[in-house]
């Protein structure tokens, strides 16, 4: 029997089914490899979000939805028409409900309404779509601070969602009736961020919230959905393509260069997590069909990761814009299977859905509304 020795480690021959002995502890390498493979597979979410559950709980604190690169709150292409006669003496919300016509897109398609129906206070942030991370974070900070300035005039019972079955003392009930201004406390908020919005949020928490300036709010949790925490190989490709070409540099947003894997490695060193904030994350992957919007970028990202692997085998699963491995940050809650980058904000590819239903007789396995309701439920269970 041949033995290979390295310090206190001995690897036995093939007859000893790949045992690794360290001191008196024996580890079956084949079994360990299977456990690692099983752990990776267990994080894959296949049909958990295919349908809405009967019950979800709203988080205690308000939610701020933060959009990604090139994002927006709402785009209006054709102005809507409001019947002026019916709008007299109506509130802002009532006037909005009377609006007719109009053509536009909501970035968070149907998601805000679903969360509000749970009883949550929800804001949709708007930051410079192609801005740098610092600029976007500063705009996000101003937005949340302004929204919470108005909320602080209201009572805790109006802003915070409470469990109807929770038993409160009389003193706590009285305090809940007071406004945040009277209590001299900031409003705690949960951030839910898609794509680059997660980087804006991390910068806000790490660099702005901790600068000592009094604010009307305090971030207590951040949930990121397919955020390129470790950079995007798509950004690497664009950066290499642009090179020193002055014309291409002039038309390419600076934020693209911030999203490269090299730049994000530096970002992660200089933007540490706040220990008082909880961080959660999701990633996504899919196998593109010929009609997929992200067919080209999916293959590009796969190629870039293979080039950077230097002969090593690395996972290339991605959602067409962000690799699964790059999306992992904090408490990783799983990889959404057969979901692309826009499916995550409920912009489901209609062509793909139609083909799946009609030709393949397959029911869609992902409903973005179910994902965000579950995120809210997760926050609620954790006391946020």
* Residue 236 and residue 226 in contact, taking contact as beta carbons nearer than 8 Å: no
Who's near 331: CB < 8 A, 6+ residues apart? 278, 279, 280, 281
pLDDT interval class at 365 (50, 70, 90): confident
Q: Is 238 helix (H, G, I), strand (E, B) or coil?
A: helix
Q: What is the pLDDT of residue 206?
A: 97
Mean pLDDT score, 260-276: 96
Per-residue burial over 165-193, b = 16 or more CB atoms within 10 Å of its CB, e = otherwise = eeeeeeeeeeeeeebbeeeeebbbbbbbb
Model confidence, pTM: 0.77
Distance CA 204, CA 194 (A): 15
pLDDT interval class at 8 (50, 70, 90): very low
CATH class of 46-72+107-163+171-381: alpha beta
Mean pLDDT score, 209-217: 90
What would the pLDDT profile of 45-77 be if each residue is shown by its tens digit? 998 998 899 999 999 999 999 998 865 444 433
Range of weakest confidence among 94-98, 192-196, 323-327, 350-354: 94-98
Q: What is the pLDDT of residue 129?
A: 86
Instruction: Name which of 222, 62, 196 is nearest 139 in CA terms.
Output: 196
The answer to whether residue 84 scores a pLDDT higher than 70 is no
Q: What is the pLDDT of residue 200?
A: 97
pLDDT interval class at 181 (50, 70, 90): low
The answer to whether residue 209 scores a pLDDT higher than 70 is yes
In the chain, where the domains are located: 1-42, 46-72+107-163+171-381
Of residues 106 and 91, more confidently modeled: 106
Distance CA 358, CA 44 (A): 26
Of residues 322 and 361, more confidently modeled: 322
Q: What is the pLDDT of residue 291?
A: 78
Q: What is the pLDDT of residue 14?
A: 40
Residue 365 phi/psi, 5-degree rounding, is: -95, 0
Instruction: Name which of 384, 350, 338, 309 is nearest 47 in CA terms.
Output: 338
pLDDT interval class at 362 (50, 70, 90): low
Instruction: Name which of 365, 363, 315, 375 is nearest 339 in CA terms.
Output: 365
Q: What is the pLDDT of residue 98?
A: 33
The answer to whether residue 87 scores a pLDDT higher than 50 is no
What would the pLDDT profile of 117-166 be if each residue is shown by its tens digit? 999 999 999 999 889 999 999 999 999 999 998 887 776 777 787 654 45
What would the pLDDT profile of 288-309 be if each residue is shown by its tens digit? 888 788 889 898 888 887 777 6
- Arithmetic mean of pLDDT over the chain: 77
């Amino acid at each position: 029997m041949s033995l290979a020795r390295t310090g206190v480690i001995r690897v036995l021959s093939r007859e000893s089914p790949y045992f690794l002995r360290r001191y008196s502890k024996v580890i079956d390498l084949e079994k360990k490899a299977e456990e690692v493979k099983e752990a990776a597979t267990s994080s894959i979410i296949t049909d958990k979000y295919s349908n809405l559950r009967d019950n979800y709980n709203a988080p205690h604190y308000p939610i701020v939805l933060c959009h990604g690169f090139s994002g927006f709150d709402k785009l209006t292409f054709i102005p809507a028409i409001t019947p002026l006669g019916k709008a007299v003496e109506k509130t802002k919300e009532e006037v909005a409900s009377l609006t007719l016509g109009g053509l536009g897109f909501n970035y968070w398609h149907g998601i805000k309404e679903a969360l509000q129906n749970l009883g949550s206070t929800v804001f949709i942030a708007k930051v410079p779509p192609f801005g740098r991370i610092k600029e976007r974070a500063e705009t996000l900070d101003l937005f949340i601070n302004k929204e919470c300035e108005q909320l602080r005039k209201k009572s805790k019972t109006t802003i915070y969602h409470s469990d109807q079955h929770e038993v409160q003392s009389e003193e706590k009930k009285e305090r809940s009736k007071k406004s945040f201004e009277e209590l001299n406390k900031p409003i705690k908020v949960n951030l839910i961020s898609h794509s680059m919005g997660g980087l804006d949020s991390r910068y806000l928490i790490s660099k702005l919230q901790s600068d000592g300036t009094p604010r009307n709010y305090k971030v207590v949790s951040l949930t990121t959905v397919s955020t390129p925490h470790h950079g995007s190989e798509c950004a690497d490709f664009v950066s290499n393509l642009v090179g020193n070409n002055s014309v291409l540099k002039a038309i390419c947003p600076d934020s693209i260069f911030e999203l490269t894997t090299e730049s994000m490695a530096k970002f992660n060193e200089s933007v540490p997590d706040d220990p008082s904030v909880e961080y959660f994350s999701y990633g996504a992957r899919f196998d593109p069909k010929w009609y997929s919007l992200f067919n080209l970028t999916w293959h590009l990202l796969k190629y870039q990761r293979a080039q950077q692997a230097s002969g090593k085998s690395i996972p290339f699963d991605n959602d067409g814009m962000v690799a699964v491995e790059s999306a992992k940050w904090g408490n990783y809650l799983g990889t959404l299977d057969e979901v692309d980058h826009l499916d995550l904000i409920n912009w489901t590819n209609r062509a793909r859905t139609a083909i799946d239903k009609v030709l393949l007789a397959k029911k869609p396995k992902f409903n973005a509304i179910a994902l965000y309701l579950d995120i809210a439920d997760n926050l609620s269970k954790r006391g946020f």
